[in-house]
A = this chain, B = another copy of it.
């Protein structure tokens, strides 16, 4: 069994922003030389999501608007009693989905035609890490 670990860094310009990170994951996979296996992609910060969906700007806006409707910024969350102001970001991460596991087949991410992996940041404007863990052969 082979294993391969990488840490990707992202720093979004806006507090809330979606990035297509598929190219970085494909590069990590190439470096791993794994042909058959699984790739876990997990944000190491708890105010962000990694999810798979269409790489389309209108959909990005729809996702952010829906999450803002369901868990608005600036409400009196109990988490704010610690001095934080990002209670909404912790909730948005859970509603969108925390992480994804991807299949590796014949050395490629085994995707349907529209599957792209995204990093969704809900408390950005600082450096954050995403873990890429590959196991296989």
Contact = CB atoms under 8 A, between A and B. Distances in A.
B90 A54 contact: yes
B58 A5 contact: no
Contacts of A52: 46, 98-99
B40 A103 contact: yes
Contacts of A43: 112
A20 to B, nearest CB: 13
Interface in A8-51: 36-38, 40, 42-46, 51
Nearest to A111: B44
B78 A62 contact: yes
Contact of A3 (B37, B57, B96, B133): B37
A117 to B, nearest CB: 11
Interface string A45-85: 11000011110111101110110001100000111111000
Contact of A58 (B36, B51, B79, B100): B79
B79 A71 contact: no
A101 B40 contact: yes
Lowest 4 A-B CB distances belong to which pairs?
Answer: A44-B112, A58-B78, A103-B133, A3-B36
